[in-house]
Chains A and B, each alone.
Chain A
Amino acid sequence: MFNKKECVAMLLAGGQGSRLYALTQDVAKPAVPFGAKYRIIDFPLSNCINSGIDTVGVLTQYQPLVLNEYIGNGQPWDLDRIHGGVHVLPPYQKATGADWYSGTANAIYQNIGFIDRYDPEYVVVLSGDHIYKMDYNKMLEFHKSKKAAATIAVLDVPKEEASRFGIMITDDDDNIIDFEEKPKVPRSTLASMGIYIFTWEKLRAYLIANEEDETASKDFGKNIIPDMREAGEKLVAYRFDGYWKDVGTIESLWEANMDLINPNIPIDLYDPNWKIYSRNPVYPPQSIGKNAQVQNSMVTEGCVIDGSVEFSMISDGVIVEEGAVIYDSILMPGAVVKKGAKVEYAIVGENSVIGENCQIGARPETIEDKDSWGVAVVGHNLTISDGSNVLPKAIIYEDM
């Protein structure tokens, strides 16, 4: 018999992340590199351990190999525990049959057995595609004080952006009375952050009921939350006022990276009391050469920089040769940019090589037709031969 855990976290990491195109061809979205030395999943995992939650189930399905290896035994996040810790939970065969996870709710449903082993009072449901620092324990205290069945974390967004989100309509006491998915005319500006806390006993019952309904889409947003509201359960909104960003698209992934070097954006990676942990590659310190010029950028270990780098995120083991120019771009681990190449407003995938004098992407001010401008993406493990030109907004899947 396991010891009891008050709260268990379930991290939904199985989505394909199809809107990241070439970046999620072979890796699940949560394993996409972020912020020079992290992967997206480092944020929710670090939040868990920093919030005192030491039991985390990571639900994987799409291309899990990189993610599985990355999480490993959970040691980098201090989640290698005798009891609890991090567990990767792929779909598995049961006596009654074998199913892929058919929705977010179904994924949790299929792991009721895992959660029950810890006999928790509460379950936190998290996504693997958000960048933020949040104390889930404060949210849990809020959930307890409200005696809610479900608490949904919400962010007060500008009115003009509200129609991009799932919007929660609340009464004066933050009880959720209605919600609408991406409304054209939003009735509120409280956007759901995709972070839920449930009283496990309640969630368990709704998951089982939802599973019996064959027409249901087995999704939290579409089924579980509406079902709970219809049954009159207490649903409350927990207001979060820090930095939070969904990185599900190329543009938002690029923006969130750039936010880290924007002094006006409140996400501090240097706070010793809320470290974001990651699996450390073994590399020497970064080497900044005699011809290098590095400004307003983040660079990590193992990089060898002898070119010009501005407003960029340079991940571990990246090489930027003399005369190369990196501007407003993200170079993922192991990328190489050869002499004279220009990378502007672009994302270069892991271990990809940009040949000499290539032009990857372009600055928006150089493009007349603004609609044709966007961040250029070179996928992982590609070779772009010398002198090639990758247009803005292009997404490169193959060598060129």
Chain B
Amino acid sequence: MEVNMGNVLGLVFANMHDTTLGDMTKNRTMGSVMFGGRYRLIDFPLSNMVNSGISEVGVITKSNYQSLLDHLGSAREWDLARKKGGLYILPPFGNVESTLYRGRIEAIYGAMNFISHSTAKYIVLTDCDVITNIDYKPIVAKHIESGADITVVSHTGPYTSDDLKTATVLNTNEEGQVTSVLIQPELSGTCTCSLNMFVMSMEFMVDMIKDSIARGKVSFEKDILQERCSELKIMAYEYKYYFSKLNSTDTYFKANMDILDPENARKLFVPKRSIYTKVSDNAPAKYDLDCIVKNSLVADGCIIEGEVENCVLFRGVKIGKGAKLKNCILGQGTVVGDGAQMNYVITDKDVTVAPKHVLTSSAEYQMYVSKGATV
């Protein structure tokens, strides 16, 4: 079935599940959390939408969105600086209806002005906590074909303790129709969890949101997916391609480490389906005479004089002579002094590690050093 993706509007929730990443989102949105050496989480949904042919995208923010605005700029890097369509940032208090939302229903309602101006027939909604290279086109096609009211992109796999904080578990029949919904249940074994990506027709969504607001409803998951499960046709779309879902510091760390494996990196960074990000005009990375670098991802602007193994280095990281780093994620502009030793450490942006300083943690609990800190 051929779908006209020009008829689809995208809506990205930049703040959803902020709290799951702890201090990393203290001063920024989920969407502006750094990932994979040169990206911010929002690069993935935005690039996926653009690569799927969606050229009109709204980004709903709530708080802490200065860094997000800096990152997105005019959205030219995502090819979303358009006269027709393009990127719209939708902060709270943007209009009379828009306040600090308490849940997804109010968030969408706050963006109603933007949504109602669009001529799109369908809408794709997504959060920023799933890192993947997804094509929305077959999902929209399946949505139309199945005649569903709501299509929820989901994945069936092992249920972990981290899932407890955010998971929406779907029970489905053989046709993939959702028969009941559990919110953050205490389960174990294999479950079908929502990836927090939804497809709806515009008409259905607008009516449903207005109706829900009139009834004082807040949560899309609880008040719509769960409560109205039997009266609506909610379909689960089983997503089987490579993805990482972030819901804790640990899953964040592992998702980064996961793409050190070239197999996984190839699944995430697909030629002709590029992940776009802000350009920062760094010089190439420089490897010094005595450096040793193994199994690592390195961004431009890095200068490496020490030893680095199993690490992700963001732009402009400097590793001093004799420093030894293993299993670390170093945020943009982090400077590691000569002879320092680090193992299982995540540094935020612009961290300075003093020469000969030793910072070690464990695979089970990674140390996090906050933005601008000197240790």
Contacts and interface: CB of A to CB of B under 8 A. Distances in A.
How many interface residues does chain A have, given as a range? 35 or more
A35 B298 CA distance: 17
Q: Most B CB atoms within 10 A — which of A36, A293, A294?
A: A294
Contacts of A304: 262
Interface string A269-296: 1100001111010111111111011111
A289 B269 CA distance: 16
Given A284-B37, A285-B38, A277 B281 contact: yes
A296 B284 contact: no
Interface string A116-139: 000000000000000000000000
B283 A269 contact: yes
Q: Most B CB atoms within 10 A — which of A36, A284, A304?
A: A284
A285 B293 contact: no
Nearest to A37: B284
Q: Most B CB atoms within 10 A — which of A269, A298, A299?
A: A299
A210 interface: no
Contacts of A35: 284
Contacts of B286: 261, 270, 297-298
Interface stretch (B83-91, B92-100, B299-307): B299-307
A350 interface: no
A76 interface: yes
B300 A300 contact: yes
Contacts of B290: 295
B36 interface: yes
B291 A295 contact: yes
Contacts of A292: 293-294
Nearest to A313: B284
A54 interface: no
Nearest to B269: A284
A270 B36 contact: no
Interface in B273-317: 274-276, 279, 281, 283-301, 303, 312-313
A328 interface: no
A288 B294 contact: yes
Interface residues of B, number: 36
A72 to B, nearest CB: 12
Contacts of A282: 274-276
A276 B262 contact: no
Contacts of A297: 286-287
B62 interface: no
Nearest to A281: B274
B298 A36 contact: no
B265 interface: yes
B76 interface: yes
Interface in A296-329: 296-301, 304, 309, 313-314
A75 interface: yes
B293 A276 contact: no
B287 A284 contact: no
Given A270-B303, A285-B297, A285-B299, A280 B283 contact: no
Given A282-B274, A284-B37, A294-B291, A300 B281 contact: no
B283 A284 contact: no
**Does more than half of chain A's interface fall in helix, strand or loop, or is it mixed?**
loop
A270 B285 contact: no
Contacts of A275: 281
B301 A270 contact: yes
Contacts of B297: 284-288
Q: Most A CB atoms within 10 A — which of B292, B295, B298?
A: B298
Contact of B279 (A76, A261, A299): A76
A276 B280 CA distance: 11
Nearest to B295: A290
B300 A37 contact: yes
Contacts of B38: 284-285, 301
Contact of A294 (B269, B287, B312): B287
A278 B300 CA distance: 13
A19 to B, nearest CB: 26
B284 A298 contact: yes
B291 A37 contact: no
A282 B38 CA distance: 11
Interface in B316-355: none
B354 to A, nearest CB: 22
B37 A289 contact: no
B293 A288 contact: yes
A295 B287 contact: yes
Contacts of A37: 283-284, 300
Interface in A352-366: none
A288 B300 contact: no
B285 A300 contact: yes
B269 to A, nearest CB: 4
Contact of B289 (A284, A290, A295, A314): A295
A301 B276 CA distance: 13
Nearest to A298: B284
A144 B111 CA distance: 57
Contact of A276 (B283, B295, B301): B283
Contacts of A284: 36-38, 265, 268-269, 275, 297
A235 to B, nearest CB: 36
A298 B285 contact: yes
Contacts of B294: 288-290, 292
Given A294-B293, A296-B287, A299-B284, A287 B275 contact: no
Nearest to A75: B76
A297 B291 CA distance: 10
A304 B265 CA distance: 10
B296 A288 contact: yes
Q: Most B CB atoms within 10 A — which of A282, A286, A289?
A: A286
A285 B301 contact: no
A37 B287 CA distance: 15
A75 B74 CA distance: 13
B277 to A, nearest CB: 8
A375 B299 CA distance: 29
A286 B287 contact: no
A286 B274 CA distance: 15
A289 B276 contact: no
Given A280-B279, A299-B298, A301-B300, A285 B37 contact: yes
Contacts of A283: 269, 274
A32 B43 CA distance: 31
Contacts of B37: 284-285
The 3 closest A-B pairs by CB, nearest first: A285-B37, A269-B283, A36-B284
18 contacts: A37-B284, A261-B286, A282-B275, A284-B38, A284-B269, A285-B297, A285-B300, A286-B285, A286-B297, A287-B260, A288-B293, A288-B295, A288-B296, A289-B295, A295-B290, A295-B291, A297-B286, A299-B287
Given A76-B279, A280-B279, 12 more contacts: A37-B283, A261-B286, A269-B284, A282-B275, A284-B38, A284-B268, A294-B287, A295-B287, A295-B288, A295-B291, A297-B287, A299-B298
